Amino acid sequence: MPPTTLFICSDGGFPPVPDFALERLTPVFLPVGHATTENRAVTALAVDRDAARPDRWLAFARVANFGDHPATVQLELSCQQQPLDVVELVVAAGEESSWQFELPELDEGVVQVHLDPPDALASDNVAYAVINRPRPARVLVVSPGSDVLRAALATDQVRRLADVTWLLPSALERMLQQEEAAPRGYDLVIFDRWQPPRLPTANTLFLGALPPGGAWQAGPPERAPTMLDVDHVHPLTQLVDMSDVVIAQGRALEPPPGGQALFDSTVGTLLAVAPRDGFEETPDLGAAGRDAEPENLRATRRRKDSHSINRDLERIDRQRFRHHVLDDLDTWRGHVAKEHERQMHLLRANHSRGRDA
């Protein structure tokens, strides 16, 4: 594949970009204006359904201040050229500020945010996002069988979002041997504890296996990692709450160059996203237990799987090819039970000491 030219039109005032690999990109810098100019900009605008109320849309906007002084700005939201809301933000010099707007019920339309007052560059004071009429996604699940996964895909929200087809790994392997029989036209393919010989032209979610190709590496299994941070800016994880998810085992991810951590834990990165030949991969190597675990762990695993799958289905029209990995943990039931008992013992001991005092 020949190199691709990347044209950068900027005043040169952007900060360094660590851990970024140009790969096949040849950068060409085209200076515009001066780096010392006072300028504010709408740097991001995304629309998504509210996880708590799927019938409602939310708009997420981010404003950056590239000047040397704090700025007070007004951010106005409109839809179909009708003003809906306006908010005043104070953005420190060199910093960013975000805001979440609630949108009215609608199936399609154009959402716009506009930044005031005017500054040195008018073109970055406005941003647009398009809401398209939703359609059911086509999902293929390649699995030897999993009650937990079937429960996660049997929710009312998934039924509203997708038409799900199930296939055994052996059946898909036979189909892949015949190129013309390989499955096509799917928006999402879920691989449960099986690594295909090659990747399909679709979004992919891996459970218990890494994507093929060797670009992603993972460390050894670590028991009971604790979640430290979730990236609430990235569209994939901006509405994800991991506070009630018990993780029995995790493996630290080593993404390829350009990777971005989305879940960080005490053992390392459990979820990350990185470019791959113009597409994106997102492995997740933290998991709660499966079918044989205590009921509370089974419930948290089901919530995590269901939420992750719902987020994938809701994003397939906006993202290209993506890979997720969720490690399987059948053999860790005993470790989880012991860890739970240890924590309960500590709680009882602390309670007893507090009562004696």
pLDDT at 123: 92
C-alpha R_g of the chain: 23
pLDDT at 136: 86
Indicate the Cα dihedral angle 154, 157, 161, 165, nearest 10°.
0
- Average pLDDT (184-212) is 83
Q: Is 313 left (phi over 0), alpha (psi -120 to 50) or beta?
A: alpha
How would residue 290 be classed by pLDDT, with cut points 50, 70 and 90? Answer: very low
CATH number of this structure's domain 40-131: 2.60.40.10
Q: Does residue 184 carry a pLDDT above 70?
A: yes
Give percent helix, percent strand, percent coil of the chain, each to the nearest 5.
20, 35, 40
Summarize pLDDT for 317-353 with one digit per residue, the tens.
444 333 333 333 333 344 445 555 555 566 566 555 5
Q: Which of 4-13, 117-126, 154-163, 329-338 has the lowest mean pLDDT?
A: 329-338
Q: Does residue 86 carry a pLDDT above 50?
A: yes
217-234 burial, b for 16+ CB within 10 Å, e for fewer? ebeebbebbebeebbeeb
Q: Does residue 232 carry a pLDDT above 80?
A: yes
Peptide bond into 117 cis (omega under 30): yes
Query: Which string of DSSP letters, residue by residue, matches 46-77?
Result: EEEE-SS-TTSEEEEEEEEE-SSS-EEEEEEE
Q: In the chain, where are the structural domains located?
A: 40-131, 137-335
Greater model confidence, 297 or 232: 232
* Top CATH class, 137-335: alpha beta
pLDDT at 210: 83
Whole-number Cα distances in Å, 184 to 140, 191, 201, 220:
10, 15, 7, 35
The percentage of the chain sitting over the pLDDT mark of 90, rounded to a whole number, equals: 27
Q: CA–CA separation, 337 vs 339, rounded Å?
A: 5
Contact yes or no for 223/248 (Cβ under 8 A): yes
How remote is the C-alpha of 129 from its chain's centroid?
18
Summarize pLDDT for 95-127 with one digit per residue, the tens.
999 999 998 877 788 999 999 999 988 999 999
Q: CA–CA separation, 336 vs 195, rounded Å?
A: 26
Greater model confidence, 16 or 310: 16
Q: Which of 74-83, 143-152, 339-348 has the lowest mean pLDDT?
A: 339-348
How would residue 13 be classed by pLDDT, with cut points 50, 70 and 90? Answer: confident
Contact yes or no for 268/247 (Cβ under 8 A): no
pLDDT at 292: 32
Q: CA–CA separation, 12 vs 16, rounded Å?
A: 10
pLDDT at 287: 55
Helix (H), strand (E), coil (C) string for 168-231: CHHHHHHHHHCHHHCCCCCCEEEEECCCCCCCCCCEEEEECCCCCCCCCEECCCEECCCEEEEC
- Average pLDDT (66-92) is 92
Q: List CB contacts of 221: < 8 A, sequence separation 6 or more.
A: 249, 250, 251, 327
Q: Which two tokens stand for residue 72?
A: 């007070």
